[in-house]
Amino acid sequence: MSQIDIQSDIQQTILKQQKIDSRRKWILNGVLLVLLLLAPFVMYPVFLMKILCFALFAVAFNLLFGFTGLLSFGHAAFLATGGYTTGYLLSNFSGLTTEMGVIAGTLMATVLGLGFALLSIRRQGIYFAMVTLALAQLVFFFFVQASFTGGEDGMHGVPRGELFGLINLEDNLNLYYVVLTVFLGCYLLVQRIVSSPYGHVLKAIKQNEPRAISLGYKVDRYKILAFVMSAALAGLAGSMKSVVFELASLNDAHWHMSGEVILMTLIGGMGTLLGPVLGATLVVNIEYQLGQGPLRDWVDPILGGIFVITVLAFRSGIVGEVQKFVRKNMG
């Protein structure tokens, strides 16, 4: 065979491989969709919506952490900003339909995300985490002091209202399918982002930043965009959460929450698509189950223990380990 033939042969193989991978991805997407469509018939919709909101939060966080390599310790700020903004608007302006409140909350988090990004993006590693944490603490104290948040008591009685002024969201099942649609839309968006030309650049930056710079990439701009998109999706998660629970509270702004989303992402598998979804599902369930029983005071130590085990023993998280196993045993 001539050199050219070999080359085109290999190219064919690569394209075939891409097709197989993409088919596998869509099968998995289909399974996920069917499960989520049927879930409210076997489980309480509000609980499911809680999972979906946290899953979206973790997916958003993972876009920055898992796919760009930036560990933010301040993502609670975006969750809370989305929640408080939406809660405040829907509570005080009865003319607003629900989606307007949610969009406004998302936009507010996006703008805040840009601010965070501009102030932190030059820092590397642990310094980046520290700057994001410090900024998020500022936001937390602002929410503690501001009167509209209700301080320690939280912001209660956020009206769910009506989608487009048409669909009654007081109905849990209606709201569930709205939340599900938003979640799936965002999930597919992130799936698209990480496999796009832009996603390839993020991968390069994550794997070897100096090399990416030396190939002519202005890496700060790529990182800022990733940060802003991540903040926007985290804000959206917070906005929906405030609609679902008719409540926005300081819990969402607390640094605990920034830690929890790291935990979810690591348990499920950072840098995988399904990992954060699975991680969020597990953490929310563990918290709920333990919170009911005699171990309720042990929730944090137990989650901490799981965190340590994950970091020490299976660093790629559940989905990451499964992927490794599949790759090893099935070619």
168 contacts another protein (rule: CB under 8 A): no
Among 23, 25, 122, 218, binds another protein (CB under 8 A): 218
181 contacts another protein (rule: CB under 8 A): no
CA–CA separation, 163 vs 170, rounded Å?
10
201 contacts another protein (rule: CB under 8 A): yes
User: By C-beta, is 298 or 325 nearer to another protein?
Assistant: 325
**First-last CA distance in the chain:** 26
Cβ atoms of 180 and 52 within 8 Å: the answer is yes
13 contacts another protein (rule: CB under 8 A): yes
Nearest alpha-carbon partner for 55 in 35, 27, 85, 25: 35
To another protein, the closest distance from the beta carbon of 190 in angstroms equals: 10
User: By C-beta, is 13 or 181 nearer to another protein?
Assistant: 13
Residue at token pair 């769910």: 160
- Candidate segments 6-14, 93-101, 120-128, 253-261, binder of another protein by CB under 8 A: 6-14
User: By C-beta, is 175 or 186 nearer to another protein?
Assistant: 186
- In the DSSP assignment, the letter for residue 148 is G
**Residue 44 backbone dihedrals phi, psi, to 5 degrees:** -70, 120
Cβ atoms of 169 and 90 within 8 Å: the answer is no
Structure tokens at 255: 């640094």
59 contacts another protein (rule: CB under 8 A): no
**Residue 70 backbone dihedrals phi, psi, to 5 degrees:** -105, 120
197 contacts another protein (rule: CB under 8 A): yes
Among 219, 237, 264, 278, binds another protein (CB under 8 A): 219
184 contacts another protein (rule: CB under 8 A): no
User: By C-beta, is 204 or 306 nearer to another protein?
Assistant: 204
CA–CA separation, 147 vs 155, rounded Å?
10
208 contacts another protein (rule: CB under 8 A): yes
10 contacts another protein (rule: CB under 8 A): yes
User: By C-beta, is 7 or 285 nearer to another protein?
Assistant: 7
SS3 162: strand
Per-residue CA distances from 305 to 52, 265, 276 (Å): 24, 15, 18
- Candidate segments 23-31, 72-80, 109-117, 187-195, binder of another protein by CB under 8 A: 187-195
CA–CA separation, 62 vs 152, rounded Å?
29
CA–CA separation, 184 vs 177, rounded Å?
10
User: By C-beta, is 32 or 225 nearer to another protein?
Assistant: 225
User: By C-beta, is 200 or 256 nearer to another protein?
Assistant: 200
To another protein, the closest distance from the beta carbon of 8 in angstroms equals: 8
To another protein, the closest distance from the beta carbon of 323 in angstroms equals: 12
Show the beta-strand stretches assigned E in the chain.
155-156, 162-163, 167-168, 247-248
Under the rule (CB under 8 A), what is the footprint of another protein?
A: 3, 6-7, 10-11, 13-15, 17-18, 192-193, 195-201, 203-204, 207-208, 210-219, 221-222, 225, 229
